[in-house]
Amino acid sequence: MKTLLFLVLFSTIISNAQKSKIQEKKNETINLAVNLNDIANNIEETLKKGKYKLKVYGKIDNNIHYINIKQEQTIFVEPPLEIDKNEFTKENQFDTIKFEYERFFEFEIKNRTKFEVVVQIMSVETNKLVREIKITYNSLKNKKWISSVGISSNFLINKDTYRTVKDGDLFKIKRDGSQEILQIIPLIQFSFINLEKDSGFAPTGGIGFDTENISAFIGGSYYIGQNVFITGGISLHKQKRLNNLYNVGQELSEAVDKSTVNIEYYRFNPFISFTYRFSSNILKK
């Protein structure tokens, strides 16, 4: 009993420690940096959910240019600043006045969010735009449709087929029951998975192909490692039933072929499928 209590207590401590580490990781701020002198006019990146601190920095000629900053819908104007002789530098043989620009932005990326900073380098003399740099961060898509291939097992609820059997001088229509209880159909599935989870549940649809017919599938999947999918639901596919022209036990003067006694029709049946996801969408070239 004491051993059991000890194991329970030990497991609780370990579990709480792991949760604490995960929470600390979630609250951790990730640092980003953009050098205005070393980037293109537009940069766009995708980030995972979390808190970020963006450092925008660079050197501008403070006698010629000044900077406007637009963060989302708020505009911050920074006019030419007073020159500090300690910030002067000399490049090559020219006496060039430089200003070290540096600004920080703190933001959080959540589901379907976008953070944008627009940096405008303006002319001091004309107040006209010289260069505009747009920095955009988009949230990572946490859900996505992905494809997988495999086989499905369709369970036929109504498996009866019919045929004519000789009964004296006549022929009677009798239940044959030769239709398979289980049909195996190759299929392609499309599942809407959560990219942030290695395993979980996802809505799924699919298309199956056999040698003669096309089947449709819809249901729910449990995916493992975002690669293996176990799916259950209902499928719509062809199977056989008695032709409306005939009845069970009906007497006929001559034998009728099974293809005439039975007709094909679409019916919903339960299914279970096992599929595997390849590294890329198999429908894309």
Ranges of each domain in the chain:
29-139, 143-276
Predicted local distance difference test score (pLDDT) of residue 188: 94
pLDDT averaged over every residue in the chain: 77
| β-strand partners of 264 | 240
How is residue 123 written in tokens? 């002319």
Q: In terms of C-beta density within 10 A (0-12 exposed, 13-18 middle, 19 or more buried), how is residue 160 classed?
A: middle
pLDDT in tens, 210-265: 777 789 999 999 999 888 999 999 999 888 888 888 888 888 888 888 888 888 88
Give the number of other CB atoms < 10 A from CB of residue 54.
19
Give the number of other CB atoms < 10 A from CB of residue 9.
10
Tell me the average pLDDT across 162-180: 80
pLDDT band at 80 (very low <50, low <70, confident <90, very high): very low
pLDDT in tens, 173-205: 888 766 677 888 999 999 999 877 888 999 999
Taking alpha carbons only, the member of 22, 102, 120 closest to residue 54 is 102
d(Cα 159, Cα 178) in Å, to the nearest integer?
8
Taking alpha carbons only, the member of 145, 128, 134, 68 closest to residue 101 is 68
Tell me the average pLDDT across 12-24: 49
d(Cα 193, Cα 176) in Å, to the nearest integer?
44
Predicted local distance difference test score (pLDDT) of residue 95: 38
d(Cα 83, Cα 12) in Å, to the nearest integer?
60
Q: Lowest-pLDDT range, 6-10, 89-93, 157-161?
A: 89-93
pLDDT band at 270 (very low <50, low <70, confident <90, very high): very high
Predicted local distance difference test score (pLDDT) of residue 19: 47
Structural domain 29-139, CATH architecture: Sandwich (2.60)
Give the number of other CB atoms < 10 A from CB of residue 229.
24
Q: What is the pTM of this model?
A: 0.51
Q: Lowest-pLDDT range, 8-12, 46-50, 181-185?
A: 8-12
Q: What percent of the chain has pLDDT over 90?
A: 19
Tell me the average pLDDT across 272-280: 84
